[in-house]
Amino acid sequence: MNFKTAFNEISMGPGTELVLFAGPCVIEDHKTTLSIARFLKQMTSELGIPFVFKASYDKANRTSLQSYRGPGMLEGLRILDSIKKELSIPILSDVHTRSEVESAAQVLDIIQIPAFLCRQTDLILEVARTGKPVNIKKGQFLSPWDMFPVTEKITSTGNRQILLTERGSMFGYSNLVVDFRSIKIMQNTGFPVIFDATHSVQLPGGAGKSSGGQREFAPLLAKAAVAAGADGIFIEVHPEPDHAKCDGPNSLPLTILHDLISRLIAIRRLVSEVDSSGE
């Protein structure tokens, strides 16, 4: 599948390069967000793979009322638009209500629907009607085949620019597990599948008034997902994850990213070679 951004056309699917979707969980301030985006652009340019920058302007699904949510829609979109134009990079962020969609569509190249909202029909249809590519995360409470009717909601509007994201399934309380069969199952919709390596190691509500995480396992799951055929990888990163205002326990430090992504690219290319040879 090819989808257009403000700066280029990105191809995803069999025989294509791995696509990286990365950035901080939430916009903390303009300077930090711009610095992360600049680092990621330079790294992916060196590695020769497509890159989409991700950052949320409002994290509505927080554990506690006291949790940091972000700068809000107006200021957040202003920051994202500034970074997009300065670095010439495509931007992804998430929406939580129908009232946000029109404004978000003026800035975002890809509009994301969070996992908790993946069954909200009116929101899905509102996003789909923008004609923008839609990244919809599989809810922790859904099976992979439950995503088939979700894609049908989007295609009913004529929009076929759809990305699906696996981010783990609930396993008991405050824990997630990943069923790697879901990558292939969701690809049977005919649309590319992204693996969210950092939210898959999140421990929802595991820190009491916030979510915990096991970031040490994110690289392992990312490699397994690419080996299983994931078309893209989604990673939340931060210069100092232990001091991040949101999802620090499951975010990866920038210092390990170049080596990790290099390994993921190598795995992707090896899988493509094996698949093309029929072995």
CA separation for the pair 148, 79 (Å, rounded): 34
- Give the pLDDT confidence score for residue 271 in this predicted structure: 93
* Residue 108 confidence (pLDDT) above 80: yes
What's the token pair of residue 46?
Answer: 């060196």
**SS3 at position 169:** strand
**SS3 at position 88:** coil
Q: Positive or negative CA dihedral for 249, 255, 256, 260? A: positive
What's the token pair of residue 112?
Answer: 């994301």
Partners of 176 in the β-ladder: 170
- Give the pLDDT confidence score for residue 265 in this predicted structure: 98
pTM, two decimal places: 0.95
Q: Positive or negative CA dihedral for 141, 64, 60, 33? A: negative
CA separation for the pair 140, 129 (Å, rounded): 25
Domain boundaries, the chain: 2-277
pLDDT digits (tens, 9 = 90+) for 117-148: 999 999 999 999 999 999 999 999 999 999 99
Q: 25 near 71, Cβ under 8 Å?
A: no
* Residue 210 confidence (pLDDT) above 60: yes
Average pLDDT over residues 258-271: 97
* Main-chain dihedrals φ then ψ at residue 223, nearest 5 degrees: -65, -40
Q: Rg (Cα) of the chain, in Å, rounded?
A: 17
How would CATH label the architecture of 2-277?
Answer: Alpha-Beta Barrel (3.20)
Burial of 216 (0-12, 13-18, 19+ CB in 10 A): exposed
- Give the pLDDT confidence score for residue 206 in this predicted structure: 61
Residue with tokens 């170049």: 258
* Residue 66 confidence (pLDDT) above 80: no
* Main-chain dihedrals φ then ψ at residue 45, nearest 5 degrees: -65, -40
CA separation for the pair 265, 267 (Å, rounded): 5
